[in-house]
Amino acid sequence: MADLTRSAGAAGAPLWTSDEIIAATDGRGFGGAFSVAGVSIDSRAVVSGDLFVALAGSRDGHDFVPAALAAGASGSLTTHETPGCGVTVGDTLDALERLGEAGRQRARRARRGAVTGSVGKTSVTQAVRAGLDRAGAAHGSVKSYNNHIGVPLTLARMPAATERAIFEIGMNHPGEITPLSLLVRPRAVAITTVEAVHVENFSDGEAGVARAKAEILDGLESGGQAILNADNRWFDFLKAEARRRGARVRAFGKARGADAQLIRFAAAPGGASVEARIDDKRVEFPIRHSAPHWGPMSLCALLMMRALDVDLETGIAALGDFAPLQGRGAERRLRTRAGSYLLIDESYNASPVSVAAALANLGGKAVSGRRIAAFTDMLELGAESPARHAALAADVEAARVDQVFCAGPLMKSLFDALPPGRRGAWAPTADGLFDHLAAALGPGDVLVVKGSRDSKAGSLVAGLEALDAAQREES
């Protein structure tokens, strides 16, 4: 089914009326009554009928109210009167949170789930959403809207008729997940895994990350389900935290006794085949993801769907159609002057465990050319960052990678740890690496690109796509 965020207004009932916005935010209306079919915080993304929320940031959102109105916004949420119709409040972020809470309270039928984890939370969230869409009126996070703005925004966009909803919740520091979980009040939560991600923000390293991820349990409804990774070293800690809060624990992974136990994961044309035992029922199903970590992740998604009353057959069918997300394993064949190669786009973000998983996926690919990896710096790893980068040399070896291209001062540690025969090129920045990488690609090669967002791994992908477009124009 389609997302009701936009269709609610088209069906007749608006998402919010100005009177409802005033009541939810304790605001004051100006310019006359209005109604909206959506909520936006970005004037560039406004569509006709939206409520534009003017948030403070690097630029004051109030500066963009005229542009939002010109793009079709029906009204605005501001701290002072602006052109057009709107509602004024003391603080627009606080008002967005109140609107989100009101959205949750009025959607009384909605069964809500929430997903967090060091790796895979966006992909699992969207896989769950694919199943919810098949089961009825569904709603959920878009992109990676998982922070103190994205979560209340997603709630504020939730139509009253929603039957099931899934939310992604992220963090960089301790204490960030609890208020968001309390805002969502999920009936089920999932923690995909706990790894050494954002550790520079935690004085006790990975243990602090585990405690921060456990915060998602703070908003869990009484008697709700906690879906946990039985293969993760923090499983026993998280299970104890869940039970302390009265949650019913559901486990996924290869471990014996898991409620959803992975038996076999095998690469197949266009993805992989997963064989598992789910609550004593043996199942086998195809997915469109080839990376081995998608074996347990698919089971995590299925347990969440079941917790939200989606039957197993519907969930499996949804996974069979769910394609890898851009920047998170999407594959496409691109051209250079020398010929075509396969790009595995993992450029959205990176951590030691996710880079190792990307390399394992690369190592499992059949190639007629070479296996090539291009990496930019992994960030927020603290004092051990150079060592964690260098340690990836073992994963490169295990994956039988022919050439590695590295960008950034931290990735220099990996580059120096590689044997000379595997060193493609190193550059201080992604932009400086691009020409070396593009010149090296040949027919039959398989390339994986991965790095943290702020180290610009995505710019390598964008450059390769532009080169591909130019080659197609010439041919």
Give the model confidence (pLDDT) of 392-419 as tens digits: 999 999 999 999 999 999 999 999 999 9
What is the spatial distance between Cα 149 and Cα 36, in angstroms, rounded to a whole number?
19
> Is-contact 192 229, C-beta < 8 A?
yes
Tokens of 52: 């534009």
Query: 243 by DSSP, 3-state: which?
Result: helix
Q: Could you give the CA distance from residue 302 to residue 306 in angstroms, rounded to a whole number?
A: 6
pLDDT of res. 199: 77
Q: Mean per-residue pLDDT for 443-456? A: 94
The answer to whether residues 50 and 72 touch, using CB atoms and an 8 Å cutoff, is: yes
Instruction: Compute the average pLDDT of residues 178-194.
Output: 98
Instruction: Give the whole-number percent of the chain exceeding pLDDT 90.
Output: 84
Domain with CATH 3.40.1390.10 in the chain: 4-95
Q: What is the pLDDT of residue 12?
A: 64
Does position 288 have pLDDT exceeding 60, yes or no?
yes
Span(s) in the chain for CATH 3.40.1190.10: 107-321
**33 band by pLDDT with thresholds 50, 70 and 90:** very high
Longest CA–CA separation in the chain, Å: 70
240 touches 226 (CB < 8 A):
no
CA distance 362 to 399: 7
Per-residue pLDDT at 1 exceeds 60: no
Whether the pLDDT of residue 55 is over 50: the answer is yes
Q: What is the CATH number of domain 107-321?
A: 3.40.1190.10
Q: Give the span between the Cα atoms of 287 and 204, in whole angstroms.
A: 38
Work out the average pLDDT over 131-136.
98
The architecture of the domain spanning 330-474 is: Alpha-Beta Complex (3.90)
Could you tell me the CATH superfamily of domain 4-95?
MurE/MurF, N-terminal domain (3.40.1390.10)
Residue with token string 């409804």? 221
Rounded mean pLDDT, 313-326: 95
Instruction: Using alpha carbons, list the distances in angstroms from residue 160 to 5, 14, 155, 349.
Output: 10, 10, 10, 34
Question: CA 412 → CA 193, 376, 416, distances in Å?
Answer: 28, 9, 6
| Cα gap 122→284, rounded to integer Å | 24
Question: Which pLDDT value is given to residue 405?
Answer: 98
- Dist CA 55 CA 434 (whole Å): 36
Task: Give per-residue pLDDT as tens, 79-107.
Answer: 999 999 999 999 999 999 999 999 999 99
Q: For strand 16-17 and strand 35-36, is the pairing parallel, antiparallel, or unpaired?
A: antiparallel
CATH 3.90.190.20 boundaries in the chain: 330-474
